Amino acid sequence: MNVLHLTWEFPPFKVGGIAAHVEDLTKAQVKVGLTPIVVTCSFCGKEGYEEKDGVHIFRFNADNIPAEDFPTWVLEMNLLMENQIIKIFDKFKIDLLHTHDWLSATSAISIKHMYRVPMVATIHSMEIGRRGAVRQDRERLIDDLERRLVYESWRTIVCSYFMKNSICSCFHTPENKIDVIPNGIYPEKYDLSFDYESVKMKFAMPFEKIVLFVGRLVWEKGVDLLIGAAPKIISKVPEAKFVFVGKGYMKNKCMDIAHGLGVRDKVYFSGYLDDKDVDALYSIADVVVVPSRYEPFGIVALEAMAAKTPVVVASAGGLCEVADGCAYKVAVENSDEIADGVISILTNKELKNDMIENGFLKVNTLYNWNVIASTTKKTYEKIIEEYKKANWKPQKKIEKKQKGEIYE
């Protein structure tokens, strides 16, 4: 089965979690007998074809697209993506389209109808959740694209039951059209060998305890809530050091908050780091905090568990499902409870060890990419079987079938 994945981000270009998700999923799909093909953006003149670990990757040049804002850029980018997909159809017989989020929705829907190939969509998050509501025209545009994508897809894949309930409620989608398939991880990726002291010195002094945040510095990730918890944590654990990995529009605001609370010298913003440094940081950190206001899944929690680091999570969305029984849960948008969780882990060795053991076990048994790839394949096979029985086919095939020249 040849499966064409549509995604605007794919390594080495990364913005959020979609790039890592598609990379790991397609790599695992090769092992279960699928042929994954990826079409994605390229920047800095690195377009072209690449075959890696059995995955066929086509990158088209997305530099210098004239647009006044990001949604406009996305819509124009989709025209280039559509042109690239047409070329791919000349090289491969595509059995199924698999598109990821609203960013590739318009090209996926267009190609679906152009070639009459079944489409499945993975909705990684929703605009109404990211923004807290849909108010402005920009937000309505994205919300409409998400709604249309779910409507047009043969089936929709989501990473948590929280997301399934959200889509059913917001888009009035039948429950039996949505499959819950979690994100995954390769635990062996965090079995690292590195110079602990030299790496830690990049972020903190040897005696300091690292409280780590990894993610985009945006409202929905709750980065400001962790800074709000810092004074209480420091009052109980003076050696605490707060390290924030990632970029986002809230960085300056967070720095101002830290300064106002008198903890600016205990907070370090590293900006974007490559995977090697982030993976090492997970292992070095004493606790990882995921204080999200909105979180469809929470891959950072999985990464921390795989690195055998305890986690404090807000009880937001899919995080409750991921961290159930293996993390310290706190209320959403509550800096005081975040502080209590961090303090408990940093001062209670038995609690810390229990969380590490339970988290590592859960990651290895429930969130293994090989299992997830097999589950996704079953969704594909169900779609293909239904497609074979349906009359919705390319026009030439319909005409031949009506003449009795082909049989499904």
Secondary structure of the chain as H, E, C letters:
CEEEEECCCECCECCCCHHHHHHHHHHHHHHCCCEEEEEEEECCCCCEEEEECCEEEEEEECCCCCCCCHHHHHHHHHHHHHHHHHHHHHHCCCCEEEEECHHHHHHHHHHHHHHCCCEEEECCCCHHHHHCCCCCHHHHHHHHHHHHHHHHCCEEEECCHHHHHHHHHHHCCCHHHEEECCCCECHHHHCCCCCHHHHHCCCCCCCCEEEEEECCCCHHHCHHHHHHHHHHHHHHCCCEEEEEECCCCCHHHHHHHHHHCCCHHHEEEEECCCHHHHHHHHHHCCEEEECCCCCCCCHHHHHHHHCCCCEEEECCCCHHHHHCCCCEEECCCCHHHHHHHHHHHHHCHHHHHHHHHHHHHHHHHHCEHHHHHHHHHHHHHHHHHHHHHCCCCCHHHHHHHHCCCCCC
Name the nearest CA neighbour of 316 among 336, 343, 298, 340.
Answer: 298
Which SS3 state, helix, strand or coil, does residue 194 take? coil
- The DSSP letter of residue 68 is S
C-alpha 17/C-alpha 239 separation (Å) is: 31
The CATH homologous superfamily to which domain 187-366 belongs is Glycogen Phosphorylase B; (3.40.50.2000)
The pTM of this model reads: 0.80
Strands 328-330 and 119-122: unpaired
Q: Write out 201-233 in H/E/C secondary structure.
A: CCCCCCCCEEEEEECCCCHHHCHHHHHHHHHHH
Query: From first to last of its 408 residues, what are the pLDDT tens digits of the chain?
Result: 999 999 999 998 888 789 989 999 999 999 999 999 999 999 877 789 999 999 999 999 998 898 888 989 999 999 999 999 999 999 999 999 999 999 999 999 999 999 999 999 999 988 888 877 788 888 899 999 999 999 999 999 998 898 999 999 999 999 999 999 998 888 888 888 888 888 899 999 999 999 999 999 999 899 999 999 999 999 999 999 999 999 999 999 999 999 999 999 999 999 988 888 899 999 999 999 999 998 888 889 989 999 999 999 999 888 888 888 889 999 999 999 999 999 999 999 999 999 999 999 888 888 888 889 999 999 999 999 999 999 998 876 544 544 555 544
Name the nearest CA neighbour of 55 among 19, 86, 87, 31.
Answer: 31
Domain ranges of the chain: 2-184+369-402, 187-366
Judge whether 20 and 40 are in contact, CB under 8 Å. no
Judge whether 250 and 223 are in contact, CB under 8 Å. yes
Judge whether 372 and 182 are in contact, CB under 8 Å. yes
* Contacts for 126 with CB less than 8 Å, ≥ 6 apart: 143, 146, 163, 166, 167, 170, 296
* Burial group, residue 273, by CB count within 10 angstroms (0-12, 13-18, 19+): middle
> Two tokens at 70?
């990001």
Query: Would you say the CATH fold of 187-366 matches that of 2-184+369-402?
Result: yes
Architecture of the CATH domain 2-184+369-402: 3-Layer(aba) Sandwich (3.40)
